[in-house]
């Protein structure tokens, strides 16, 4: 079974991707930025990370998953020295769940106001 989930973003159609793709009991969520209706939300790593994780909570729920189903998390940071601020926000959501984690230092994103992107993989237990 393969099912796609979108958010209605013009970029999804333009670039040819889905916000999330479910294959059987696994949900793959595209790298997501702190973009809101009025542009990028937050000017620091903590605020953007929290906003993104809240946004991804909605994506998970829309697909019938939750934070507890997340098995892998990747944080892409434009300034690796700010990993503790992003990590603090991540820990507030995943402290007890403890998915695998990658902190990746990247060049600036297309919009220089974007400091963080987060990509998740969630899996429902079959047993």
Bridge partners, 20 (sequence order): 5, 29
Give the pTM: 0.94
- Sequence-ordered alpha helix ranges (H) in the chain: 10-11, 45-62, 83-94
Q: What is the pLDDT of residues 31-66, one digit of tens each?
A: 999 998 899 999 999 999 999 999 999 999 999 999
Positive or negative, the CA dihedral 114, 103, 55, 15 is positive
The parts of the chain modelled with pLDDT lower than 70 are 127
Which of 53, 51, 41, 37 minimizes the C-alpha distance to 101?
Answer: 53
pLDDT the model gives residue 127 = 62
């Amino acid at each position: 079974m393969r099912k796609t989930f979108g958010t209605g973003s013009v970029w999804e159609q333009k670039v040819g991707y889905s916000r999330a793709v479910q294959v059987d009991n696994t949900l793959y969520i595209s790298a997501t930025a702190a973009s809101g209706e009025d542009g990028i939300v937050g000017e620091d790593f903590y605020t953007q990370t929290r906003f993104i994780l809240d946004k991804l909570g909605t994506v998970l729920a829309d697909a019938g998953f939750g934070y507890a189903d997340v098995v892998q998390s990747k944080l892409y940071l434009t300034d690796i020295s700010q990993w503790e601020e992003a990590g603090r926000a991540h820990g507030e959501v995943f402290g007890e769940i403890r998915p695998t984690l990658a902190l990746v230092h990247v060049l600036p994103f297309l919009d220089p106001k974007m400091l963080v992107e987060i990509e998740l993989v969630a899996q429902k237990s079959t047993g």
